[in-house]
Structure 1
Amino acid sequence: MIKSKYRWDIPVQDEELVTRLAHDLNVSRLVAGVLVNRGWKSAEQALPFLQADTGDLVNPFLMKGMTEAVERISRAVREGERIRVYGDYDADGVTSTTLMIRLLSELGATFDTYIPHRSREGYGLNLGAIDLASEAGVRLLITVDNGISAVDQIAYAGKLGIDVVVTDHHEPPEIVPDAVALVNPKQKDCPYPFKGLCGAGVVFKLAHAMFGHPKIEYADLAAIGTIADLMPLTGENRIIARLGLEQMRRGPNPGIRALCKVCAVKPEDLTSGRIGFSLAPRLNAGGRLEHADRAVKLLAAAGDEEAELLAHELDKLNVERQALVEQTVIEAEEMWQNQCASEPGKLSNVIVLAKEGWNAGIAGLVASKLVERYYRPTIVLAMDADSGKCKGSARSIDGFDLYAALTECADLMEHYGGHQAAAGMTITHANIAELAGRLHTLAEQWLNAEDWQPKRRIDLSIPLSEITLKAIDQMARLEPFGNGNPTPRILIRDVLIRESRTMGKEDKHLRMTVEQAGSTVEVVAFGMGDQRERLAPGLKIDLLGELSVNEWNGNRKVQAMFQDFRSQHLHLNDRRKERNVWGAVEKLIVNQQSGLAVGCSPLAIFNEAVSRFGPAGIPISAYTVAGIDNNGNTAIQTAATSERYVDRRGEWRHLILIGLPSSDQEVRVLKEWLAPKRGLESVTVFSGQDKGSHTLEPGGASFPERKHFAEVYAMCRQRGQWIDSPDGFIQETAEKTEWPLSTVRMMHEIFIELGFISAEGASRKIVSEPPRRELEESSRYRKARDHAQGLRLTEMTTEELHGWMSSCHVL
């Protein structure tokens, strides 16, 4: 049995609905299954999703504050007032700022831009920046991707004679600023139907309102902001992302073209994934390490030469950022491990770490890495030793609403903002311990046991035969993929591993060929090369992953990128013909110490194993000295000390057997080792050898077949009734059939249990009209059969032995 890394959320599939939708839309069952399990129940519902275009964009004036914003900006343009665009330093912030530059330039406005420095000023409007705007003669301040929480700052701007138009998409606080216009679809009383726009998406809608029609040419930057800020790719965001991707593939502007070049991505091959993993990190790099102005200049560049220079600078900063993140993660992990060691048994539900010298610009990236490794909500803070202030970011897990949790602790922070999954904050160092304590309690109250295992939502379970090139090509109609519309995740049950090998530098990756009912497919897993031994040829697994097409030299073939796996099967490696047993066992122990145990028979082999492998600390037991205590734990012998102890560690992943049981007690012990509670994944069996290294002779016991039971039963029917005594009918039957007396008595007991023979005291009588029952319905039969099988383990073929062990491993 191999347990999955993730908790699989598998929907109940409506096969009839899938079949009907596949027919009505003329798509494969693969595509139809994804649509059904994502909520599309009819062709009429699904078509707007599949064909989303500009006609489905919402009237921008439905957004609260949009009319006032258009009027105030129009007046500033007419009267030549100086406008300042106040942006943000992340990818959404710089794309929002650049879109506003396009908009105001096209309107003929007098304006400039300002993006705060991440480390020195932090997120959002600040009083110093407002003073600078006033000194520059700014009369209208337009925020992009921030401002909804700036109550005091906007009031201060008003006192200086500066009007403020806020365009934002973050969660509004209870009290919102008194601005000329607040444009944010998340305002409580805003009737705008789609709430998932990013900052750049809100500016895209503002441009729509200003010009009276959608500005399709603005969709490129709006798409980047949407994807980079992990907004749901549903509703209007899906339309914006599709329009933007089409535009960038067809005719990217100089900045995007240069960015693609340093990312080694062809513009025509751009996808939401490549934007999220290649373009967005470089746009973020400037704001994280230096200043975001460079990213804005790149996106607004008019020529290729300037754009390529800026793109190379951002690429260099991104490399520096990666190294800095890696080092900070090492330091953060060490700090967390020290916290855990200092209070054993009191592991905090939320990781909260702060350190002087850390860079606040990469705090969110570090927090994400820690969430990935420890699966706990995480806050990472950079501390200023002089002021005692800490600035940083937080990332959460499914089920823990980070923004709601921080709101419960608002009195401890100077500033905070964000949403369910991510947030930023400023807090004094003195309040960090209190914040950690309160968040720990909230997580304890809000989360249940299941929430602490990462979950993977599965779109559908599908047989290998339905995974074709045509079906995968049709999945392109579901793009773009991203948050809210993820790449379809597929479950393929019970596939047989035919080939398995590592690949890449240092064998970090894994490539396998799997088969099911005559169909085969190649599967690849990046970063899972260390799982090669667990995924050996011959094992059957359930496979979880995503589908793709591998193109090489003009050839196209189906490929699965797998992410997780599990198996209810026990893998048997039958090496009973191995000549150098001790050398082979030593190699297994060296290569796989974790979760390994060794069972031996006879005692001479056990003593030899303890002598050879004692220093490795591997649990080693002889069947004859192992017992089972009253709690079902197996008492085993420690290899290091040869003293008996009870193994309560729970799971053994790999079991090495040197010799097989030859008695009922030994079989009972082996069955306990094979029990599913152990979490055993594989068993390697060697023949038992004594110190002279000769193979021990197999022993065994026979068990009557069905025809033998029929023969004895026929004799019972012929006799009709009898007295049960050792020298009576049973003895007579034993002599005629040449079965031992104990075996004949066992047969009679089974007939009594099945209702074929009635028993009163020592009197036995055949039942004239017995029920129609199979031998397997008798528990006495099953127990005797299993016992007999156990005593002939050494005689079994590989297939028989695997079957017997698998039967012991079933829940």
Structure 2
Amino acid sequence: MIKSKYRWDISEPNHDLVTSFMQGLKVDRLVASVLVARGWSSLDQTAHFLQADIEHLLDPFDMKGMAVAVERIKEAVRNGEQIRVYGDYDADGVTSTVLMTRLLSELGATYDTYIPHRSREGYGLNINAIDLAAEAGIRLLITVDNGISAVEQIAYATQRGIDVIVTDHHEPPEVLPEAIALVNPKQKDCTYAFKGLCGAGVVFKLAHAMLGRPMLEYADLAAIGTIADLMPLTGENRIIARLGLDLMRRQPNAGIRALSKVCGIKPEELNSGRIGFSLAPRLNAGGRLEHADTAVKLLAATGDEEADLYAAELDKLNSERQLLVEQTVIEADELWQSICQLEGSTKRNVIVLAKEGWNAGIAGLVASKLVERYYRPVLILAVDESTGLCKGSARSIDGFDLYAALSENAELMVHFGGHQAAAGLTISREKVDVLADRLHILAEQWLSPEDWKPKRRIDLSIPLSEASLKAVEQLERLEPFGNANPRPRIVIQDVFVRESRTMGKDGSHLRLTIEQANQSMEVVAFGMGEQRDRLAPGTMIDLLGELSINEWNGNRKVQVMLHDYRSQHIQLQDRRKDNKMWSTVEEHINNQSSGLVIGCGSKAIFQEAISQFSHTGVPIRLLSESSLDARLVMETAVASEENSAEGANLLEEWRHLILLGLPCTQQEVSTLEQWLSPQVGGECVTVFSDLATNQQVTEGNAAFPDRKQFGEIYAMCRARGSWLDSPNGFVQEIALKTGKPLSTLRMMLDVFTELGFIAAEGASRKFVKEPPRRDLEQSERYRKAREQSNRLRLSEMTTEELQQWLISCHSKVPS
């Protein structure tokens, strides 16, 4: 059995609705099933979703504050007022800033830009920045991607003679700032139908309102902001992302061309994934490590030479950011492990780490890495030694509302904000431990045991035959993919791994070939190179992944990008013909010491295994140990033969059992059956041959009689007619004539008696002249004897027979 990494939450689409979508939308069953699984039920609404046309953009004047903002900006342009665009340092803030400057340029306005420094000024409007604006003669300040919470700062700006227009998309507080206009679709009394715009999306709608038409030439930056800020790719966002991607592929501006080049991407190949994982991190890098102005200058550049310089600088900063994240993750992991060692078994439910020297700008990235590694909520805080304040970010898991948890402890923090999955905070150093203790208790109260295993939402389970090229091509109609519209995830059950090979310079990735019902497909598993043994040829698995199309030399074929897998079957590696047993066992131990157990079929091979491998800590067991039960297989160390079954620390399960020889007695078979039970665990059994064990089997166990031999004994009974069941009687005569063991002959006569072929009364036995017509299989004594005989002939089984026997043991439900 191989357990999955994730909890699989598989949808069961309504089949009638799927059929309706297939006919009404003219799509393949695969596409229709995905749409239904994602909650689409109206044909008209689903058709609008698939089309995502410009005609479905909403009227920008439906947004509260839009009309006032438009008039005030027009007034500033008419009067030649100096306007300052006040942005933010992330990708959405940068694209919002440049998008606003495009609009102001088109209007002929006089303007400049200001983005605060992340570490020196922090997020949003600040008093010092307002003073600088006043000194520069700014009369109108327009915030983009911030400002909705700046009550105090905007009041101060008003005192300094500066009008403020807020364009934002973050959650509004209970008390709103008194700005000239607040343009944010999330305001409680705003009637705008779509609430999911990012900062750049709000500016895109402002441009529409100012210029009287949807500004398609602005969609590129709006799309980048939408994708980079992880906004839901539904509603207007889907339209904006689709329009923007189309524009970037056809007519990328100088900045996007340069940024794509340093990412190694052709502009015509841009999609939401490449923006999210390649372009956006570089746009964010400036604000994380230095200043976001470089990203603004890149996106505003008009010439390739200028853009190339800024792109190269951002690429360099991104590489530095990656190294810094890697180093900080190592330091954070070490700090977490030291905390765990100090606290012993009471491991924290929420990881809270604070250290001097860390960069607050990458705290969220580090937190995400640790969430992925340990699947616990994580807070990473950078300590400022001079102030004693800790600034940082937090990331959560499903089921634990991070914002709600921080709100429960608001009095401990100087500042915090965010949502269920992510947050930022500032807290004094002496209160960090108190916060950690309280979050630990909240997680204990709020989360169930199953919440501690990550979940993956799966659109549907399909047979391999449904993953046709035509169907997968139609899935492209669901693009662009992203938040709230992820790439479809599918499960294909019971596929056979035909080929498995590593790829990449360091062998860190896998390429598999899977089969089902005479169809095959390639599977790519990034970062799973070390799991090649678990996905060896011959393995039967259920796989979870994404369908994609691989194009090479003009050939297009479907492939699966593997995310997770599981198997209900135990796997067999039959190495009985391997003449280098000890070196192969050593290789297994070197590659996988954790979860490995060695079972020995004879005393001699057990002693040899102890002498060679006891120092490794791998449990080594003898099949004939009378005191051995299934749990004792899993001891963590064996020091010697004398103490091998005593005083051990027991684990919950084993992954890989190496058998040096197979059982040759009933007791040994029973022991092995306990080891193979599903409650103990087990993924793979590797079997080697032990000549001493094989000799015992050959000498001690006769083959189970076949039907012909049963017929011969039956004929002898008929010829005799009747006899007494005595030690030296008829049964002894048969034994002398046939050479068969007395135990085998008594079993055969018991079978005849059970089937009514022989009548028994006391010690008397009589052949029945007209017996009932019954098959040997109808005798329980026959079936049990045959099963017991087969169990004692494991070493003689073929690989297929042995595999089936292992599976049968692993499938048994305990009584």
Is this a same-fold pair by TM over 0.5?
Answer: yes
Q: Give the alignment's TM-score, normalised by structure 1.
A: 0.91
Find the counterpart in structure 1 of residue 130 from structure 2. 130
CA deviation map 1:636-672 (0-9, x unaligned): 7954322133562122111111111111111111011
Find the counterpart in structure 1 of residue 328 from structure 2. 328
Q: 1:312-711 alignment to 2 at 5 Å?
A: 312-625=312-625, 627-628=627-628, 634=633, 639-642=638-641, 643-644=643-644, 645=646, 646=648, 648-690=650-692, 697=698, 699-700=700-701, 702=703
Which residue identity lines up with residue 230 of structure 1 in the other structure?
Answer: L
Q: Please say if residues 146 and 167 of structure 2, whose CA atoms lie closer than 8 Å, have aligned partners that are also in contact.
A: yes
Q: Please report how far the alpha carbon of residue 25 of structure 1 lies from its aligned counterpart in structure 2 after TM superposition.
A: 2.6
CA deviation map 1:358-377 (0-9, x unaligned): 11111111111111111111
Q: Please report how far the alpha carbon of residue 453 of structure 1 lies from its aligned counterpart in structure 2 after TM superposition.
A: 1.1
Find the counterpart in structure 1 of residue 211 from structure 2. 211
Secondary structure at the counterpart of residue 680 of structure 1: strand
Q: Please say if residues 731 and 746 of structure 2, whose CA atoms lie closer than 8 Å, have aligned partners that are also in contact.
A: no
Q: Please report how far the alpha carbon of residue 586 of structure 1 lies from its aligned counterpart in structure 2 after TM superposition.
A: 2.8
CA deviation map 1:385-409 (0-9, x unaligned): 1111222222221222222222222
Q: Distance in 2 between matches of 1:730 and 1:366?
A: 83
Q: Please report how far the alpha carbon of residue 715 of structure 1 lies from its aligned counterpart in structure 2 after TM superposition.
A: 14
Find the counterpart in structure 2 of residue 791 from structure 1. 792
Q: Distance in 1 between matches of 2:619 and 2:581?
A: 18
What is the Cα-based RMSD across aligned positions, in Å?
3.7
Which residue identity lines up with residue 684 of structure 1 in the other structure?
Answer: T
Q: Please say if residues 417 and 425 of structure 2, whose CA atoms lie closer than 8 Å, have aligned partners that are also in contact.
A: yes
Which stretch of the first structure deviates more once superposed, 317-326 or 173-182? Answer: 173-182
Q: Please say if residues 723 and 730 of structure 2, whose CA atoms lie closer than 8 Å, have aligned partners that are also in contact.
A: no
Q: Please say if residues 248 and 270 of structure 2, whose CA atoms lie closer than 8 Å, have aligned partners that are also in contact.
A: yes
Find the counterpart in structure 2 of residue 809 from structure 1. 810
Q: 1:771-790 alignment to 2 at 5 Å?
A: 785-790=786-791
Q: Please say if residues 627 and 634 of structure 1, whose CA atoms lie closer than 8 Å, have aligned partners that are also in contact.
A: no
CA deviation map 1:413-437 (0-9, x unaligned): 2222222222222222122122222
Q: Please say if residues 498 and 515 of structure 1, whose CA atoms lie closer than 8 Å, have aligned partners that are also in contact.
A: yes
Q: Please say if residues 196 and 231 of structure 1, whose CA atoms lie closer than 8 Å, have aligned partners that are also in contact.
A: yes
Q: Distance in 2 between matches of 1:231 and 1:590?
A: 46
Q: Distance in 1 between matches of 2:416 and 2:522?
A: 47
Find the counterpart in structure 2 of residue 87 from structure 1. 87
Secondary structure at the counterpart of residue 329 of structure 1: helix
Which stretch of the first structure deviates more once superposed, 606-615 or 660-669? Answer: 606-615
Q: Distance in 2 between matches of 1:103 and 1:412?
A: 43
Q: Please report how far the alpha carbon of residue 708 of structure 1 lies from its aligned counterpart in structure 2 after TM superposition.
A: 9.5
Q: Please report how far the alpha carbon of residue 149 of structure 1 lies from its aligned counterpart in structure 2 after TM superposition.
A: 1.8
Distance 1:531 1:634, change over 3 A: closer
Secondary structure at the counterpart of residue 669 of structure 1: helix
Which residue identity lines up with residue 256 of structure 1 in the other structure?
Answer: I
Q: Distance in 2 between matches of 1:458 and 1:559?
A: 17
Q: Distance in 2 between matches of 1:128 and 1:209?
A: 32
Q: What percent identity do the matched residue pairs reach?
A: 67
Q: Please say if residues 286 and 314 of structure 1, whose CA atoms lie closer than 8 Å, have aligned partners that are also in contact.
A: yes
Which residue identity lines up with residue 683 of structure 1 in the other structure?
Answer: V
CA deviation map 1:20-64 (0-9, x unaligned): 433433322222221121122354342111111111112222323
Secondary structure at the counterpart of residue 544 of structure 1: strand
CA deviation map 1:169-214 (0-9, x unaligned): 1222233323222222222333222221111111112222222322
Which stretch of the first structure deviates more once superposed, 460-469 or 62-71? Answer: 62-71
Secondary structure at the counterpart of residue 158 of structure 1: helix
CA deviation map 1:62-118 (0-9, x unaligned): 323323322333333333333221110000000011111112222222322111000
Q: 1:173-188 alignment to 2 at 5 Å?
A: 173-188=173-188
Q: Distance in 2 between matches of 1:806 and 1:411?
A: 58
Find the counterpart in structure 1 of residue 801 from structure 2. 800
Which residue identity lines up with residue 27 of structure 1 in the other structure?
Answer: V
Find the counterpart in structure 1 of residue 247 from structure 2. 247
Q: Please report how far the alpha carbon of residue 570 of structure 1 lies from its aligned counterpart in structure 2 after TM superposition.
A: 1.4
Q: Distance in 1 between matches of 2:163 and 2:730?
A: 107
Q: Please say if residues 464 and 519 of structure 2, whose CA atoms lie closer than 8 Å, have aligned partners that are also in contact.
A: yes
Which stretch of the first structure deviates more once superposed, 47-56 or 425-434? Answer: 425-434
Secondary structure at the counterpart of residue 679 of structure 2: helix
Q: Please say if residues 627 and 669 of structure 1, whose CA atoms lie closer than 8 Å, have aligned partners that are also in contact.
A: no
CA deviation map 1:248-302 (0-9, x unaligned): 1111111111111111211111100110111111111111111111111111112
Find the counterpart in structure 2 of residue 75 from structure 1. 75
Q: Please say if residues 635 and 650 of structure 2, whose CA atoms lie closer than 8 Å, have aligned partners that are also in contact.
A: no
Find the counterpart in structure 2 of residue 261 from structure 1. 261
Q: Please say if residues 170 and 417 of structure 1, whose CA atoms lie closer than 8 Å, have aligned partners that are also in contact.
A: no
Q: Distance in 1 between matches of 2:240 and 2:758?
A: 79
Q: Distance in 2 between matches of 1:61 and 1:612?
A: 80
Secondary structure at the counterpart of residue 258 of structure 1: helix
Q: Please say if residues 751 and 776 of structure 2, whose CA atoms lie closer than 8 Å, have aligned partners that are also in contact.
A: no
Q: Please say if residues 701 and 792 of structure 1, whose CA atoms lie closer than 8 Å, have aligned partners that are also in contact.
A: no
Q: Distance in 2 between matches of 1:51 and 1:362?
A: 38
Q: Distance in 1 between matches of 2:708 and 2:778?
A: 14
Which residue identity lines up with residue 332 of structure 2 in the other structure?
Answer: A
Secondary structure at the counterpart of residue 213 of structure 1: coil
Q: Distance in 2 between matches of 1:45 and 1:757?
A: 78
Find the counterpart in structure 2 of residue 719 from structure 1. none
Q: Give the alignment's TM-score, normalised by structure 2.
A: 0.90
Secondary structure at the counterpart of residue 654 of structure 2: coil
Q: Is residue 34 of structure 2 the alignment partner of residue 34 of structure 1? A: yes
Which residue identity lines up with residue 797 of structure 1 in the other structure?
Answer: T
Which stretch of the first structure deviates more once superposed, 644-653 or 138-147? Answer: 644-653
Secondary structure at the counterpart of residue 117 of structure 2: coil
Secondary structure at the counterpart of residue 677 of structure 1: coil
Q: Distance in 2 between matches of 1:232 and 1:710?
A: 76
Distance 1:36 1:96, change over 3 A: same
CA deviation map 1:206-261 (0-9, x unaligned): 22222232211111101000110111111111111000000111111111111111
Q: Distance in 2 between matches of 1:612 and 1:51?
A: 67
Q: Distance in 2 between matches of 1:89 and 1:547?
A: 35
Q: Distance in 1 between matches of 2:330 and 2:705?
A: 64
Q: Distance in 2 between matches of 1:318 and 1:658?
A: 52
CA deviation map 1:502-554 (0-9, x unaligned): 11111111111111111111111111111111111111111111122222222
Which residue identity lines up with residue 580 of structure 2 in the other structure?
Answer: N
Q: Distance in 1 between matches of 2:304 and 2:210?
A: 30
Q: Distance in 1 between matches of 2:527 and 2:8?
A: 20
Secondary structure at the counterpart of residue 381 of structure 2: strand
Q: Please say if residues 513 and 521 of structure 1, whose CA atoms lie closer than 8 Å, have aligned partners that are also in contact.
A: yes
Secondary structure at the counterpart of residue 5 of structure 2: coil
Q: Distance in 2 between matches of 1:713 and 1:471?
A: 63
Q: Please report how far the alpha carbon of residue 749 of structure 1 lies from its aligned counterpart in structure 2 after TM superposition.
A: 9.3
Q: Distance in 1 between matches of 2:448 and 2:804?
A: 38
Which stretch of the first structure deviates more once superposed, 553-562 or 278-287? Answer: 553-562
Q: Please report how far the alpha carbon of residue 682 of structure 1 lies from its aligned counterpart in structure 2 after TM superposition.
A: 1.1
Find the counterpart in structure 1 of residue 282 from structure 2. 282
Distance 1:608 1:218, change over 3 A: same
- Kindly tell me the number of residue pairs found equivalent between the two proteins: 806
Which stretch of the first structure deviates more once superposed, 413-422 or 593-602? Answer: 413-422
Find the counterpart in structure 1 of residue 297 from structure 2. 297
Q: Please say if residues 605 and 689 of structure 1, whose CA atoms lie closer than 8 Å, have aligned partners that are also in contact.
A: no
